[in-house]
Amino acid sequence: MSTVKVFNAGHTACSGCGLSLAARLVMEAAGPNVIVSNSTGCLEVFTTRSPQTAWGVPWVHSLFENSGALATGIVAALKMQGKENEARVMAFGGDGSTADIGFGIISGMWERGDDVLYVCFDNEAYMNTGIQRSGLTPFLGATSTSPAGSVTGGNQKQKKNIPMIAAAHGVKYVATACVGYQRDLQNKIKKALAIKGPKYVQILATCPLGWGNDSSLTIQMGKLAVETGLFPLFEVEEGKITNVMNVAKPKPVEEYLKLQTRFRHIVKNPEEVAKVQAIADANFKRYTKDKVLF
Amino acid sequence: MKKVTEGLKAIAETVALCRPEVISAYPITPQTHIVEELSVIVANGKLKCEFINVESEFAAASVVLGASVAGVRAYSATSSQGLLLMAEVLFNMAGMRLPVVITDANRAVSAPINIWNDWQDTLAIRDAGLIHLFAEDNQEACDMHLQAFKIAEDHEVMLPVMVNLDGFILTHAFDPIEFPEQALVDKYLPKYVPMEKLDVKNPLSFGLMGGPDRYLETRYAMAETMKTCPAVIRKAAQDFNKMFGRNYGELIEEYKMEDAEIVLVSMGSIISSMKDVADDLRAAGKKVGVLKIRCYRPFPVQDVIKSLCGKKKAIILEKALSIGGVGILTADIKAALYGQKNVPEISDFILGLGGRDIRISDIKAIVALAEKANLKGEFYGLDPKLVEEMDK
Ligand SMILES: Cc1ncc(C[n+]2csc(CCOP(=O)(O)OP(=O)(O)O)c2C)c(N)n1
Ligand SMILES: [Mg+2]
């Protein structure tokens, strides 16, 4: 390992934070020759507080919804300086930044075909501001703005399918990854960075505080999300599914739900659990190797 | 040799002479011809530059912000709704001390939607931390862009600069324009040298969170720069005059002020009409002068004090207002004069909003009104019938 670290310890993430683990894995896979544009959110907040920074690579934060456009500007500037081969450019955003407020920006970046790896750190809510729902909050998951009320229980919408939306844009490489499968995650980042053009990787990152799981379960939660079928891991290259993480014996979603207080209101209700199970079952059918999507 | 050119095209050609390395902008009337013309200039290989088409002004501002942190000269242009959509990025850009230059074709803000001229757009973001310059005519607007880059990129400044010109009145007017020679432009405006940039050889972090322990000092530093940058703005104007032989004043311009008793104060294209009015009224025996605010932020407090104190009357003409408050320029001028000796009587008029014509005869009528009484925040030119209709 090099002496200069790309992502340093000493930041202020919560214990068991899947996001800080995911970010470290991404950065170690990417190495020092990258420039990062980071949207507002937990990652930006826990890694910087002027004059301190956890970042060992050139890093910039501007706003909640513009890391994609910043990356475009950075790529353009590198090109004008004749340095396009000196550094790869990555844009980071949380699920809220990616699926909601910054979505138009990201769509624009993909449409232009900019040579940027966009990484969405998906902890399934606006964690930085106190666990409000986002477009990537899971079906029936309780958040502080989709609470488990007596009439409606939790988030009434399914996760927005950003990977498929990315693929529909003609993004060259689309992948999902998860802190439960670290080598897989790092391979995907390396593979993505070797490709010229737009790339999108969405990483499921456990958030003990927001999900209400034990902070020792960060890795397990990731594994369970995949093993139940709720967060399938796959790769899409040039519009075709080229790889799907095989789950030999799918686990019932209940095993995943019961470990998190955000699903506390449904675990004792078989009808509601069945609805979530149906999503997982559909995912296994939807994401199959060699399927041509576009 | 002068070439008769439309204002916007002239600006695009001048911006190209400044050799921006990244341009990103989004169409909006009355700015659109700038982004169109620049795309043509780049497409024809006349300017080596990354021209980035985007999906919104918010994205355009963010792209040039990213380019600027990465160390290159970056430019954008917009107007009205587009400027407001950029607002969040502009505050951020200024706070990050990035020397981007942005042209604003000044236009009214919706509702009602209106594509014509006033200053509401630019004055709505006057607190963002950008330097705001206002051009009186198209030659000045063009020349101001060279100065804008020079000021913004000065290491004593490092703030974004906005060049303002009145929508349609200037933007779409054809004027004979003197374009500077490229070699001279290169001499006046050498390649941008960033102080710091995104660089793998020297990995720095930009845009860090600043807590209560640090934020106050960061904003203080910006305020201090605004206090010291007038020297740079003055020098940019003086050097420009030396090299190109054109002078528009520095932070302000005074016209027939020496013996003036009545002073007309404003910004932008209306200044030309005010100068004509001063000439006419002087012929009729009235000692009228004109004070042009060329640099609105930083507000030239000392210049304004020197210029106005000792005069009998100042008449401020405003093409914007803080609804529920007072005229915005008026507030700045009154704040500057507070506590000074020999402060003139002040009348201020709100007029021309949303492109309503302002004729020479209107300005003369305003002088006559102000001579009779001190009027405050007086809307000039209202149609009484429409006022009554809207009252219902
Ligand atoms: C324009 C704007 N709106 C709202 C906010 C407040 N805000 C900051 S971060 C954030 C949520 C971030 O959520 P996400 O992108 O999922 O990142 P996370 O913190 O969960 O990692 C919100 C709502 C903001 N900074 N800017
Ligand atoms: Mg989140």
Output the residue whose Cα is nearest ligand 1's atom 1.
A64
Output the residue whose Cα is nearest ligand 1's atom 22.
A129
Q: Is there a domain that residue A1 lies in?
A: no
- CATH classification at residue A271: 3.40.50.970
Q: Check B55 against A71: CB less than 8 A apart.
A: no
What is B123-145 written as a DSSP string?
Answer: HHTGGGS-EEEE-SSHHHHHHHH
Q: Could you give the CA distance from residue B370 to residue B373 in angstroms, rounded to a whole number?
A: 5
Q: Is there a domain that residue A55 lies in?
A: yes
Q: How much of chain B exceeds pLDDT 90, in percent?
A: 99
Q: pLDDT-based confidence at B1, cuts 50/70/90?
A: confident
In sequence order, the β-bridge partners of residue B4 are B176
pLDDT tens for B6-51 read 999 999 999 999 999 999 999 999 999 999 999 999 999 999 999 9
Q: How much of chain A exceeds pLDDT 70, in percent?
A: 99
Q: Is there a domain that residue A4 lies in?
A: no
Which amino acid does the sequence have at A54?
A: A
In this predicted structure, what is the pLDDT of residue A9?
87
Of A37, A63, A77, the CB nearest to B89: A63
Q: Check B50 against A76: CB less than 8 A apart.
A: yes
Q: Which residue of A has its CA nearest to B199?
A: A58
What is the atom index within ligand 1 of the atom nearest the CA of A207? Answer: 20
Average pLDDT over every residue of A265-282: 97
Q: Is there a domain that residue A7 lies in?
A: no
Of B62, B65, B205, the CB nearest to A53: B205
In sequence order, the β-bridge partners of residue B291 are B254, B265
Distance from CA of A272 to the nearest CA of B (A): 40
In this predicted structure, what is the pLDDT of residue A2?
45
For residue A51, whether the previous peptide bond is cis, meaning omega lies within 30 degrees of 0, is yes
pLDDT tens for B167-208 read 999 999 999 999 999 999 999 999 999 999 999 999 999 999
Q: Could you give the CA distance from residue B63 to residue B61 in angstroms, rounded to a whole number?
A: 6
In this predicted structure, what is the pLDDT of residue A4?
57
Which residues in A lie closer than 8 A to residue B91 (C-beta atoms)? none
Q: Is there a domain that residue A225 lies in?
A: yes
pLDDT tens for B272-313 read 999 999 999 999 999 999 999 999 999 999 999 999 999 999
pLDDT tens for B124-177 read 999 999 999 999 999 999 999 999 999 999 999 999 999 999 999 999 999 999
Q: Is there a domain that residue A9 lies in?
A: no
Please give the tally of structural domains in chain A: 1
Q: Could you give the CA distance from residue A228 to residue A267 in angstroms, rounded to a whole number?
A: 15
Q: Read off the pTM.
A: 0.97
Pocket test of ligand 1: the residue of A37, A119, A126 to mutate, having most ligand atoms within 8 Å of its CB, is A126
Tokens 């609804």 correspond to B323
Q: Check A73 against B63: CB less than 8 A apart.
A: yes
| Mean pLDDT of all residues belonging to chain B | 98
pLDDT tens for B303-341 read 999 999 999 999 999 999 999 999 999 999 999 999 999
DSSP strand E in chain A: where? 34-38, 48-49, 52-53, 59-61, 88-94, 116-122, 173-178, 199-204, 234-237, 240-244
DSSP state of B189: S
pLDDT tens for A158-193 read 999 999 999 999 999 999 999 999 999 999 999 999
Output the residue whose Cα is nearest ligand 1's atom 3.
A64
Average pLDDT over every residue of B365-376: 97
Q: Check A69 against B49: CB less than 8 A apart.
A: no
User: Ligand 2 centroid to B202 CA: how many Å?
Assistant: 30
Q: Is there a domain that residue A102 lies in?
A: yes
Q: Could you give the CA distance from residue A55 to residue A33 in angstroms, rounded to a whole number?
A: 13
Q: Is there a domain that residue A2 lies in?
A: no
Domains and CATH numbers, chain B: 2-244 (3.40.50.970), 252-391 (3.40.50.920)
Residue A49's domain spans which residues? 18-286
Contact A197, A116 (CB under 8 A): no
pLDDT exceeds cutoff 60 at B58: yes
Pocket test of ligand 1: the residue of A128, A160, A206 to mutate, having most ligand atoms within 8 Å of its CB, is A128
**Does B237 or A6 have the greater pLDDT score?**
B237
- Ligand 1 pocket: which residues have CB below 6 Å? A 19, 40-43, 64, 93-97, 121, 123, 126-129, 134
In this predicted structure, what is the pLDDT of residue B155?
98
pLDDT tens for A224-254 read 999 999 999 999 999 999 999 999 999 999 9
